[in-house]
Amino acid sequence: MSMNKKTIEDIEVTGKRVLVRVDFNVPQDEHGAITDDNRITAALPTIQYLTGKGAKVILISHLGRPKGVTPKYTLEPISIRLEELLEQPVELLDEDYGIEVAEFIDNMENGQVVLLENVRFHPQEEANDPEFAKRLSMLGDIYVNDAFGTAHRAHASTEGVTHFLPSVAGFLMKKELDYLGSALDNPKRPFIAILGGAKVKDKISVIKQLLTKVDKLIVGGGMAYTFQKAKGYEIGKSLFDASNLEFCKEILATSGDKLILPVDAIITDKNPFDVGQEACETKTVSVTEIPADWEGADIGPESVKLFAEAISGAETVVWNGPMGIFEYSKFADGTIGVAQAMADSHAITIIGGGDSAAAAQKLGFSDKMTHISTGGGASLEFLEGKELPGVAALQDK
């Protein structure tokens, strides 16, 4: 699955209007201030390459899930931040993408950058409406997809436009596919995958796919309890995915030797999301000793040691999903422990976006990892072995 797609280096861009789909869907506080600009900085190499070559750069992004034109989801704060990072003006063009926008783009200087207002202000975007995609495509001569985070969605700005313009990958897209692709296709071994998060059902196809490739699969987080239940243990009020109990039993029977499951848990008598962590009583118990009215909220210290030992012997580690309710400090130690073990490891370390990326950033481990994916859902589908529509639509080399 690694990168056999044309990139911006394979085409002539000077003087051309280049439509670039970026993923500027950044987290903001209640005042609209950007709290993490990682996704913006990740797109800079592509933008700067294009401006350096004298292209006219027209950026397209979504932000949030607006229903129609919603001022709260304007890209204005992003255009301001982008101006600071690029050290050049970035005009934000209004949302109708009409005659005025087309004229503005036609009069752009080589090396100039503009940002179109939130593409999801148009319901036709997510519907992948061909007329809307065609209208978008008329603003450019070339299309570049650098938005790995939305590559698993066939939307007008990720897939629709490729029917009307020569379409290639940007540098971030290439980097994502190269890292994830080589990890899966040709990993340096031992290759270990770590899966966490809440639900087994979200990860069934990932588990199946990874078991054919990894040397060991570590399972933590809420999804581990259905495996513990499958082993016949009492799991109390811990997360339980009854519909996939048989699946877990089958995996234990056929691939049990590849699985590493938690041996202890930090349990709580109340759910911190309901009452806050201060109101929770907690204790550490073996996974065989969870009382019926308590619930698991994190992996325990012995599990951290067990996981860290496996990680320290690995050459490639891919991690997707936290080990516990890491949003609360009482239940963050497992996730911190795994991040620390990866940071200390000499392996190629890849974090597959989403909550694990947020955790690594929040806990200060970002710069210790080989690669942190900018796409949660996209990297998960990639790990499942699915073809991503936004990638499939680009030109092959």
Range 187-201 average pLDDT: 91
- pLDDT-based confidence at 337, cuts 50/70/90? very high
Check the CA dihedral 66-67-72-74 and report its sign: positive
Range 378-390 average pLDDT: 85
Q: Write down the pLDDT at residue 139.
A: 96
Tell me the two tokens of residue 107: 């009069």
Alpha-carbon distance 209 to 57, whole Å? 39
- One-letter amino acid at 325 equals I
Alpha-carbon distance 2 to 228, whole Å? 35
Domains of the chain, earliest start first: 8-171 (3.40.50.1260), 178-383 (3.40.50.1260)
- What does the chain come to in residues? 397
**Which of 130, 125, 119, 73 is CA-nearest to residue 93?**
119
Q: Write down the pLDDT at residue 379.
A: 85
Alpha-carbon distance 296 to 298, whole Å? 6
Q: Write down the pLDDT at residue 120.
A: 97
**Is the backbone peptide bond immediately before 190 cis, with ω within 30 degrees of 0?**
yes
| 85 half-sphere exposure, CB direction, 13 A CA radius | 18
Residue-wise pLDDT for 111-160, tens only, equals 999 999 999 999 999 999 999 999 999 999 999 999 998 999 999 999 99
**Which of 363, 202, 229, 216 is CA-nearest to residue 296?**
229
Residue-wise pLDDT for 322-331, tens only, equals 999 998 999 9
Mean pLDDT, the chain, whole residue set: 93
**Which of 56, 22, 19, 55 is CA-nearest to residue 38?**
22
Quick one: residue 219, left, alpha or beta (phi over 0 = left, psi -120 to 50 = alpha)? beta
Examine the pLDDT at 240 and tell me if it is beyond 80: yes
Residue-wise pLDDT for 86-99, tens only, equals 999 999 998 888 88
Residues with catalytic function: 39, 199, 354, 377
Tokens 């890292």, residue? 179
For 361-380, letters b (16+ CB in 10 Å) and e give bbeebeeebebbbbbbbbbb
